[in-house]
């Protein structure tokens, strides 16, 4: 069955798209919806068949838990149990960042099955700010499980077209809400009690930056060792990977092109002075933020550009580093994982 793409160009079209999405979700089907970060593959979080279908469509291993989406603070306690010791800081965080790209890992309520959380006693909860996602949640009137709408380990989709490329005919409906405003997946945070002030463990860096979180507690960046992979599986060493090998450079000097090999360049701002543009006869150059280089613009274009270069037929994608501050931390995290090979050459 071909995937239906519902457009949202007018209020009437949006209404119809939302109605279609809700009706499919009520039947237990999964549908792709836009969020402000990346497109999500949504299903009824309380329906085991819908949850199983999400894993199947994404070819996602069952050890990798799903994010549960709620409209906002008022519905948080339907899915999570906020311990008293951290309830003050959790309230401040959700009042500041929700709806928006912040996911909180909290002890789960019994209503959320082990299937959703991969057997963990915690659940990842988020409230998207995307108007279409919010409309669907409101009409559906229950929590939705929604991981990024890509096959496991691959590039996250930031457009409806990218979802179709990723999931093909595996899903009945994609609601086209245009390009995603952030372009990178939400920041995932685990809140713990600390001495004097709460500890905010960043399990995945994202649009809500460490700088923005600092007023709320002691921010710790969690680096996940490979053997801990299943703890935070989206943080596996190799993730967000294009099919084409990707090499992340630390400086222009470390790159020497090989004879006969075809290269594409993922450039931060296409500035001659940075020294990357002339390194090879690049078949294709994608620029994240032309001119002076702005990290929010680079974030929006990141997965889109990576996907574009992946489809260009070159032998290798060469990536420039971006400044590792603010949103640049999340971009560099994705670049490092995209450049890590999945144990290739080891077996
Ligand atoms: O921006 C986003 O968060 C997007 C949009 C669609 O909402 N969703 C998203 O979901 O990125 P997904 O499934 O691609 O990534 C969720 C990550 C995974 O790495 C998963 O391992 C982690 O969250 N996760 C989920 N539940 C967890 C838990 N209880 N403890 C630790 N990590 C968890
Ligand atoms: Mg994902």
pLDDT at position 139: 98
- Please give the distance, rounded to the nearest whole angstrom, from the Cα atom of residue 147 to the centre of ligand 1: 6
In the chain, what's the furthest Cα-to-Cα distance?
62
Contact 186, 37 (CB under 8 A): yes
SS3 state of residue 333 = helix
pLDDT mean over 69-86? 97
Is residue 103 lining ligand 1, measured as CB closer than 6 Å? yes
Taking CA atoms, 25 is separated from 17, 47, 54, 141, 172, in Å, by 12, 10, 12, 11, 11
pLDDT mean over 283-311? 97
75 pLDDT more than 80: yes
Q: How many residues does the chain have?
A: 347
Q: Binning pLDDT at 50, 70 and 90, where does residue 233 land?
A: low
Q: Kindly state the tokens that stand for 275.
A: 């020294």
pLDDT mean over 228-237? 58
- Please give the distance, rounded to the nearest whole angstrom, from the Cα atom of residue 185 to the centre of ligand 1: 8
138 pLDDT more than 70: yes
Is residue 122 lining ligand 1, measured as CB closer than 6 Å? yes
pLDDT at position 346: 26
Q: Binning pLDDT at 50, 70 and 90, where does residue 2 land?
A: confident
Among candidate residues 324, 333, 329, 321, the one with its CA nearest the CA of residue 288: 321
Range with the lowest mean pLDDT among 1-5, 143-147, 281-285, 320-324? Answer: 1-5
- How do residues 29-47 score in pLDDT, each as one tens digit? 999 999 999 999 999 999 9
Distance separating alpha carbons of residues 145 and 32, to the nearest angstrom: 11
pLDDT mean over 258-262? 96
Which residue's CA is the closest to the ligand 1 atom numbered 31?
232
pLDDT at position 168: 84
Closest approach atom of ligand 1 to CA 39: 6
Percentage of the chain lying above the pLDDT 90 cut: 89
| Total-model pTM | 0.95
345 pLDDT more than 80: no
Contact 93, 76 (CB under 8 A): no
pLDDT at position 169: 86
Q: Kindly state the tokens that stand for 298.
A: 């680079």
């Amino acid at each position: 069955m071909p995937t239906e793409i519902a457009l949202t160009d007018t209020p009437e079209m949006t209404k119809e798209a939302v109605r279609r999405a809700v009706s499919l979700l009520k039947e237990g089907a999964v549908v792709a919806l836009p969020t402000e970060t990346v497109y999500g593959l949504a299903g009824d979080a309380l329906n085991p068949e819908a949850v199983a279908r999400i894993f199947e469509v994404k070819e996602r291993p069952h050890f990798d838990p799903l994010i549960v989406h709620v409209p906002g603070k008022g519905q948080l306690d339907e899915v999570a149990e906020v311990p008293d010791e951290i309830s003050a800081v959790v309230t401040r965080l959700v009042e500041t960042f929700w709806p928006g790209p912040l996911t909180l890992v909290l002890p789960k309520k019994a209503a959320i099955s082990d299937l959703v959380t991969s057997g963990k006693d915690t659940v990842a909860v988020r409230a998207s700010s995307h108007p279409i996602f919010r409309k669907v949640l409101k009409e559906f009137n229950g929590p939705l499980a929604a991981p990024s709408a890509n096959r496991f380990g691959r590039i996250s989709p930031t457009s409806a077209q990218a979802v179709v490329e990723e999931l093909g005919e595996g899903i009945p409906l994609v609601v086209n809400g245009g390009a995603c405003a952030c372009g990178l997946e939400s920041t995932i945070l685990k809140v713990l009690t600390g001495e004097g002030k709460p500890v905010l463990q960043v399990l995945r860096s994202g649009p809500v930056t460490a700088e923005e979180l600092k007023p709320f507690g002691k921010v710790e960046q969690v680096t996940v060792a490979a053997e801990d992979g299943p703890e935070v599986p989206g943080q596996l060493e190799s993730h967000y990977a294009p099919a084409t090998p990707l090499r992340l450079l630390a400086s222009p000097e470390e790159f020497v092109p090989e004879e006969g090999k075809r290269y594409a360049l993922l450039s931060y701002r296409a500035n001659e002075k940075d020294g990357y543009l002339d390194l090879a006869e690049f078949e294709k150059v994608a620029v994240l933020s032309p001119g002076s280089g702005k990290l929010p613009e680079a974030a929006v274009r990141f997965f889109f550009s990576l996907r574009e270069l992946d489809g260009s037929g070159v032998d290798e994608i060469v990536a420039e580093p971006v400044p590792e501050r603010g949103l640049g931390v999340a971009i560099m995290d994705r670049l490092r994982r995209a450049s890590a090979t999945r144990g290739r050459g080891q077996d």
